[in-house]
Structure 1
Amino acid sequence: MPTQEQARNLALRLHGLSGGTAILRKAAARELARYDPLDANELIDHLITLARSGWEPATHILSAFVAALGMEAAQIPYAEELRRLAQIQSLPTVADLFAEGPARQQLNAGAAAKADAQVFTQSLGHLKQQARLTRDPDVLSRLVTVSNPAVVRNALLNPRLTEPLVVRMAARRPARPEPLVEIWKSSRWSARHAVRRALVFNPYLPPEVGSKIVPLLNATDLAELASDTSVHPSLREQATRLLAQGPLGG
């Protein structure tokens, strides 16, 4: 079983890794794949504990590890076993990372597509290209309301997109889950605290994604989330457990 000291050494090593968010996430997936599933759960538990204590290297890499569990699961041979084993190991904060089920609120896919069609008459290909390339902030503001995830994915790459607009996208209600997941997958935007907060408090976000954001929140956000009855119950319970471990930041 990995010790907390080994987790510290790993955090220090990856903290110094050059490259962007995606590179760090893939490195985290490779590290998890090196361990057997029981040890991988222990490692994640140590990293959560270190991050909640406020140790900066752990807070930096924790986001990469929790994101890897979702975005790089194909690179982790036993990813689907981790939740069951974490429950057996009595590691609830690790088991919490694998929440399942539908979002607290849901927007019918047909209704969303109909709403898009009433506002946008261009082809999907045109909308995707426009979302990525437009220089007009008003056009971009309209395009980010599209429910099609491919359009949103391209809008997130637009260099003229601003954090306030992404926060509005992440907080939009009602919403389909797919555009919200695209925001979470965006290396450029998912590291922003305001974006994470908007996503996790959105009742239309699938809990499997929300559960990987909750450990990255600070104590103030966790306390608010724990008492927010509009979000998925599993996220409230997760926030309550993490609060007991102490703050991550202010």
Structure 2
Amino acid sequence: MPTLEDARNVARFMHALSGGPDVRRKAAARELARRDPFDTNELVGYLISLSRGGWGPATCVLSDFMAALEQEAEHIPHVDTLRRLAHVQSLDTVADLFAQGPAKLEMDADAAARADATAFSQSLGHLKTKARLTKDPDALARMATVSDPSVLRNVLINPRLTEELVVRIAARRPARPEPLIEIWKSPRWSVRHSVRRALVFNPYLPPEIGAKIVPLLNTTDLRELVAAAGLHVALREQASRLLAQGPAVGQGSAAVPMPRRGPHGPD
């Protein structure tokens, strides 16, 4: 069973890694994969508690673990069992990470395709190239409205792209889920607080993605999320539980609530 100090050591190691978000995400996936499911859940629970307490290394690496659970799931053999076991272990803030079901609101795929066809007459290949290379901010802003995720993927690597425009894309409604997921996958933009806020407050974002973003928000964001009646109930309940947990730890020797294990270990 991992201890609080184990979780601190993992956070320190991950925080010291060089190579950028992709390297840290893959390292997080390896860390999760090498443990048994019960230990994996407890480690994640500790990291959430440490982050909520404002401990810097945990706050920095928690996003890497959230991304690993979503984007590296195929490399974590037991990822499908984590949600069920988290309930057994009474680790509600971990179980919340595996929200399922449709988004609060959904945009019809055919309607999105028709809107793209009406707005753009060029081929998909031309749109992708233009999205990646254009230096015209107005053209870039128009490219950002395309619902095809491959176009937005190229928009997101355009060096002329600004955070303001990414926030507008992330907040756009109605929206297909695929472009929103592309923003969440972007190493460059998904680390920005304003982008995370825009995504999680968009009712068109699938809850399984939103649930990985909620623990990365600050207390003010969580309070607003709880009060946002137009958002998915699972995300609002998740935010409420994180607020109830409170900032349990700081950077010193303050205690973190021990993750509780179910019938397989001490409670």
TM-score category of the 2 structures, normalised to the smaller one: over 0.9
Q: Gaps (5+ residues) in structure 2?
A: 249-267
Matched AA of 1:39 = D
Aligned residues: 248
Structure 1 residues 184-203: aligned runs within 5 Å: 184-203=184-203
Matched, 1:29 2:35: no
Deviation at 1:246, TM superposition (A): 2.1
**Secondary structure, counterpart of 1:9 in structure 2:** helix
What is the root-mean-square deviation in Å for CA atoms of aligned residues? 0.8
Matched AA of 1:202 = N
Matched, 1:80 2:57: no
d(CA) in 1 for partners of 2:247, 2:111: 41
Matched AA of 2:33 = A
Deviation at 1:205, TM superposition (A): 0.2
Matched, 1:125 2:118: no
**Secondary structure, counterpart of 2:245 in structure 1:** coil
Deviation at 1:245, TM superposition (A): 2.0
d(CA) in 1 for partners of 2:17, 2:149: 31
Matched, 1:223 2:228: no
Q: Is the 8 A contact 1:218 1:247 kept in 2?
A: no
After TM superposition, where is structure 1 displaced by more than 3 Å over at least 4 residues in a row?
A: none
What TM-score, normalized by structure 1, do the two folds share? 0.98
Structure 1 residues 1-250: aligned runs within 5 Å: 1-247=1-247
d(CA) in 2 for partners of 1:189, 1:13: 23
Q: Is the 8 A contact 1:26 1:68 kept in 2?
A: yes
> How many percent identity over aligned positions?
68
Deviations 1:15-71 (A, max 9, x none): 111111111111000000110011000000000011101100000000000110000
d(CA) in 2 for partners of 1:68, 1:178: 18
Structure number with bigger Rg = 2
What TM-score, normalized by structure 2, do the two folds share? 0.92
d(CA) in 2 for partners of 1:176, 1:232: 16
d(CA) in 2 for partners of 1:187, 1:98: 21
Q: Gaps (5+ residues) in structure 1?
A: none
**Secondary structure, counterpart of 1:244 in structure 2:** helix
d(CA) in 2 for partners of 1:13, 1:70: 21
Match for residue 257 of structure 2? none
**Secondary structure, counterpart of 1:26 in structure 2:** helix
Deviations 1:54-113 (A, max 9, x none): 100000000000110000001101111100110111100000000000000000000000
Q: Is the 8 A contact 1:219 1:247 kept in 2?
A: no
**Secondary structure, counterpart of 1:106 in structure 2:** coil
